Structure 1
Amino acid sequence: MKLVCPKCGYSDRVRTLHCLMRPVTITCRNCATRYLVNWKIRLPQDSAIICSWCAKKQADSPRCTYCGRLFYGYSPAKWEQAGHGPSQAKTGSANFAVLRNKPVRFRIITACLVLLSIVALLSGASHNRKNTERQYLTNYVLAIYGIKSGMELCSRTYGDAIAEWKKDKGADPPDDQEISREEKEDMAIVKGEVDQVMRKLENPPEKYAQLSTKLQSMYGNYLKLNDLANKPSGRLASFESKVEEARDSFSGEIADLKSNMPEQLAEELKRSGTKYNLGFINKR
């Protein structure tokens, strides 16, 4: 491990693997000064740290709030030249006497800290994975709701013109008609929201890879319909048939999703059903 002498600034690589969980003294090979290395042990499940000297859990700070020793990497003890044992600082002598007199206690503390760190790391990883999966499903349901809302908005853009045309059964289908600026702005707002949610779903958990494929298919159909509504080609009769085609495709994808729905997604649909109108999913 690379350490820097706090007195002369000499940088040296020191082997400390055998004592990483408790304090230790290092002798500088340049100026022969001894200094105390007091480790700050950080637990992964929260922002707390543990002092390697007194083993007290506490909030992160530059100094242990229990034994008063400094943290930041290493803390220099009272300067002492190597080989001058009798003139050793009183504080340093007392501290290292405690280490010599209670080796079993510190070995037990070290073992416990190592075990706690491993358990915390494993439980933290499991907790993070579950949170990631749940957040993915929450965004997944929101994306489906947004896609459905966007498709309905696109399909209504020429609703009035199509209704007028159908009243006169003998009339020819009208030519293309421009939609209003307000309608374009509404579709742009909804599309922006859907795009934002879809970006959050770009890296799905491995267990939900198939769900991601189905959602991307729904999203692709929605984008096509959105482009068609903003830049129509052909007559209104053609637009109406493409709208029906997109709706049928979406309904088929929803039916396929329901037939192979994971239990976790079904639970998320129940929770989200209190916030969004998801009746189109439960419809048979």
Structure 2
Amino acid sequence: MPNANGIPTQDDVKFFKENGYWLSPKIIDDERLSRLRERMERVYRNEFETGTPPEAIWSYEKGHPKTLRKTDMASYADLTIRALAYDPVIGEIAAALTETDTIRFWADQLLHKPEQSGGHASSVGWHQDYTYWKCFQNPETLLTAWVAYDDVDEENGCMMMVPGSNQWGLLNGSDFYEQNLDNQKNGMNVPEGQVFRTMPIVMKAGQVSFHHSLTIHGSGPNISDRVRRSSALHLMTGETRFRYDERHQYLSTKQFIASGGKDGDIVQGDMYPVIYKKGVTA
């Protein structure tokens, strides 16, 4: 169990290292969750508090209303969502799990899985985040904090983790958008002697799930009458180094290159704000 303030214990850190994920207690209160849900809807209506749109946005004019909605870098557009992305408590938990002194934020996604969306491309295929993050050299320094805006379980399409897959290296077959999860897992080159075992990550609204960039995860459709809303916050430690990869570039990495960043350099700068540094208080 974590400490009273939600920070992982050494046993929790050991669990994260062995299994590739860890679930926090509730650290986002109900009032804040209500604001986040309302701000999410504003972003979907193209109402951008800052005047800056997200890097990529889903809206009702694009696609089927029952498909998964994924909006990249909503933190550009809304200050409430940005405050969550830069949350120092989430940063401190990430630092404890990765046993580092510094955590930087580098990307976020709003994720909305509509109610009764089974059969409408609302699943998330089995994937390792690092498949899409090869612009960074060291996968062990990268992790995601997944913030539940609503209660989530298997009925409304909670995340599923494959325990221990963080230790299998980078596999073939990752596809975020794949809808047939049963067929997909048969195409992943699971190491000999390992078992593709799945664990549902059942959460209460306000809990945060953390996972390693090599941990295989995905989620099924929402067959319930309850919406599933969340933010995925992508974080890195202060040891993360850049690698040029033409296929996997983001606005922040393009800015890093424009500012003089080269292969092997420590990833830093205004586009990668520090959200936690040991011994420094806000």
Q: Taking structure 1 as the reference length, what is the TM-score of the superposition?
A: 0.18
Structure in which a larger fraction of residues adopt helix:
1
Whose relative contact order is higher, 1 or 2, with alpha carbons under 8 Å and at least 6 apart? 2
Q: Taking structure 2 as the reference length, what is the TM-score of the superposition?
A: 0.18
Structure in which a larger fraction of residues adopt strand:
2
Rg comparison, structure with higher value: 1
